[in-house]
Each structure stands twice: as structure tokens, then as C-alpha cells.
Amino acid sequence: MLVATTRELSGDPATLFSGERSSKPRLTQISVSIPPKRDAGTVQWPQRLPPDPATDFAVTKVQQIATVAEGRAWFRQHVKGGHALVFIHGFNNTYEDSVFRFAQIVHDSKVRATPVLFTWPSRAEITAYQYDKESTNYSRTALEQALRTLAADQNVKNITILAHSMGTWLAMESLRQMGIRDGHVNSKINNVILASPDIDIQVFAKQYVEMGEPRPKFTIFVSQDDRALAVSSFITGRVSRLGAINPVEEPYRSKLERAGITAIDLTKVKTGDRLNHGKFAESPEIVQLIGQRLMTGQMLTDSKVTLSQGITAVVGGTVTNIGAVAATAVAAPVTILEQPVDMNRVPRPSDETLETDLRPQQLTQ
């Protein structure tokens, strides 16, 4: 994979980069060995150093890339059909966390795309939520420039962004900046997948509108039992997070339909994640759905998708059942506005009500 980072060098060859912020972005080529015997959705962390490639995830090659030209040369050598998959990790991740998780996603999804990781300065501490959030703000211009550089490469035909948790904020902010500068997001960025998005619903709506038109196709993975997002909601003023809504309940369903956003509810999906925050990567079915269908922008239909866990999807048309997937509809920009909530209780997204759309012309007033 090609790794772009705003992390500072650690000075330790075993970890490469720390959780501190660098004054300039850096590029690195990383090769990861994945053990042959493992369950899909899992990462086998080395128990000792050096790791055993027969049983552990192991970094087998690291090469610093000094110039954009070197990065483009690497991409030409590893290009897969002109498709690029850019992954942005979430809160509480070390550099090696993000590398190994992305390697697992690419391997288990069987995606035919060139993997590009953008890793931002996370201190990987539960108590460092605010530091991590500010680090995403610190990194948004670097991500925007990385996406512009990738899109400018003639070998790149299209780009899919896959962002998780707090990384979805970084993705949305960078796309919003690009839209404000150019009037719209680069046309090669045609697909954006937000997994467990840790974003205030009102803020997401503004970001979505302000990135301009045409927009990429958006897919969000949500789960009402996501404990990490429940904590995030509590410490950010008890405001509902986008990743915890119930997409088939009103007013969310109608707003998603009008916005043209596909929402996939993973509440019934069971994985080994006790926080229920990483289901998109740990469920073999979901990670394969990302690689085989969502990344290419294909719709979910009963003839092409079979999911055994009763997953709900909001995708297009009226409410119907397609195999084990229930679908609804989608099409036009929307801003989601919440009513005040009772501060004496932790709100469920379904308790919230949404007001009217904020029309694009109001944004200039």
C-alpha cells in the first residue's frame, strides 16, 4: 500500500510514526504479509518481535517516498484497473493499527483497486478524544491535496474513499474544502463510504451541501448499538451521531431519500467487537460487500445481493424486501436539523426530530 501521513516520525524503526503532528506530510510504501490461516475480519497481532509471517500480520517492506513523482511511479507499478481505494482510519489508532486494519480490509474484501492509506495523528489513547479531533482538522488540507494529486494522475480513473469513525469527519471536511475551492468535488472521486460516522448530524448536512454539485455517491454504515458513538454523543453535548441513526425511521428515512444517500443498518450484525464500532471491517459479509459492490457504485438488488443477517438498506424506490435486505429510496441535497433534546437523558437517534431543508441559496446569506 501507499501511505500518506501527517504523523511525526517516531525515531523508532519498529513503529515508524508517532501520534504527534508533523509540519509536513510524508509518503511511504508499505508491504504487509498476512498469515494464511485466519478468520476473515480478524487481525493477528504479533506477540513478539520479529513477527512470524506464518501466524502474524507482518510488515515486510518499508520504503520512504521523497517526491510526488516517486509516488506516481509507485502507483503506475501497482495500478489495478485505474481504481484507487483511499482509507482513512478513526479515533484511537496507532500508525500500525491503521496499516494492519487496511491490509485486512483489502485482503478480505478482494477489492480490485490500488490501496492508499491516509493516516492522521492519533495518540491512540481513550482520553485523547479532543486531541484526535483537532488532529483531523490539522490534517484536512493535507488529505485534500493528497486526493487532488491522486486525481491528477492519468493512471487513476476513479477514487473510492472509505473512512471510519472520526476519520469520516476528516473525509467530509476535505471534500467540503475541495468543493468550496472548485465549486464541486473532483469528478474522479465518485464513491464515498462512511463507516460508523462520528459526525454531528447537523454538521454533516452542512458539509454535504457545501461540497457542491455534482457530488460523489454516498453510502453510510450505521448501527444503533454502537457503544463508541454513544460515548461520543455524551462527551460532545449529547448530540446524535450520524452513525447511530435508524435509517428506516422518520424523519431520517425521508431526508436520506431526498439527499440521495444510501444507508446500511448493521445493528443486527454480530462480530467480536464489544463496542460494535468496527462491524464494517470485522463482518466477512460486509467487508466483501464493500469490495465487490459498494466500491464500484453498484446498487443493492435481490438478484445480486444476499445477506443472511436481516440487514436494512435505504437505497432507492419504495420500501420492499430484497432477499434479506429491506430497501427504500433516494435524490437531492438536504440539510438535517435537530430539535433540542432532554439533557437529562442520553438521546437515541430515533427520539430526534428533523426540521425543514436548508436551501443552498441560504448558505450565502
Question: What is the pLDDT at residue 351?
Answer: 33
Is the CB of residue 83 less than 8 Å from the CB of residue 90?
no
**Reported pTM:** 0.86
Question: What is the pLDDT at residue 310?
Answer: 60
Question: What is the pLDDT at residue 238?
Answer: 75
Provide the H-helix boundaries in the chain. Answer: 68-78, 95-109, 129-152, 166-182, 201-210, 227-235, 252-259, 279-282, 284-292
Question: What is the pLDDT at residue 333?
Answer: 32
For residue 54, give the DSSP letter: T
User: What is the rounded distance in angstroms from the CA atom of residue 137 to the CA atom of residue 132?
Assistant: 9
Question: What is the pLDDT at residue 58?
Answer: 95
Question: What is the pLDDT at residue 315?
Answer: 61
Question: Would you give per-residue pLDDT tens digits along the chain (365 residues)?
Answer: 999 999 999 999 888 999 999 999 999 999 999 999 999 999 999 888 889 999 999 999 999 999 888 988 998 899 888 999 999 999 999 999 999 999 999 999 999 999 999 999 999 998 999 999 999 999 999 999 999 999 999 999 999 999 999 999 999 999 999 999 999 999 999 999 999 999 999 999 999 999 999 999 999 999 999 999 999 888 877 778 999 999 888 888 888 888 889 888 898 888 888 898 999 999 988 898 888 877 777 765 544 555 655 666 766 433 433 334 434 433 333 333 233 333 333 333 333 333 333 233 332 22
Q: What single-letter amino acid sits at 3? A: V
* Cα atoms found within 13 Å of the Cα of residue 47, Cβ hemisphere only: 3
Q: Which domains does the chain have, with CATH numbers?
A: 2-364 (3.40.50.1820)
